[in-house]
Structure 1
Amino acid sequence: MQRPRPPRDRTRIVIADKDRRFADELRLSVEEHGAFEVIGIAGDGEEAIQLVETLKPSLVLMDVAMPGVDGVEATRKLRNMSESPVVVLMTSVEGPDSRALDAGAAAYIRKGEGVSCLADIVLALALLNASMPRAGVR
């Protein structure tokens, strides 16, 4: 299967996951595409919010189940920011979680698909986001 072509500008990403090993594997996988630059890794939702405020990524890949502020609540807070990034929530749990999309996540994906599949999904979302006018992205 041929992979989609990456956008010309590298998409700046923050990854938030309680499992540092998974976050590092995901970072390596998405950066393989050449279209992405992981600019920060957070271990919980509060740290993710702080990184987004400081680093201004265009995309956040965030685990749903994190200590303290979970991914759903962090997404809700991020979506209320004036320059809100696209948020993709990830989970290890089977089945849909309507809270994720209600909070404003652009996508809700299972970690069980594997990091290379997640990276392909992220690339597709980045391409879609790049083709949309910024004012229309929410």
Structure 2
Amino acid sequence: MSADIVSPEHRSKIMSKIRGKNTKPEMVVRSLCHEMGFRFRLYRRDLPGAPDLVFPKHGLCMFVHGCFWHRHPECKYAYMPKSRVDFWQNKLAKNVERDLKTQQALINMGWRVVTIWECHTKNRDLLRLEIQNAFTRDA
């Protein structure tokens, strides 16, 4: 196992700068949804997991997940850090477990749930198709 090249205090400061809301991928998705005419609410705290975008008219909750933090399967951005492997495996597994529980709770409440992955926000044309499909799927 290789050692971290920065002190624990500096690493903590770096990690504290990572935002959970209004991230660049979220902003891309929100902009495109608005451009496509879909109106939404943000972070509805009365719903499990406070979904990133909620489309009440369509019964749809949308999460914009970071590939690293939420373990996008077979994605190059979902790598495992080389230091403190046990810590990261535990932390990231809990994120995935929480995501599944949140998704199931929303489904049980009658919502449709869609996850947009961070890496998908890099190609606007494919993202547009993915968003359009989210509104036509099971509608």
State the TM-score, normalizing by the size of structure 2. 0.46
The structure with the largest strand share of the pair is 1
More helix as a share of residues: 2
TM-score under structure 1 normalisation? 0.47
Q: Rg: which structure is higher?
A: 2
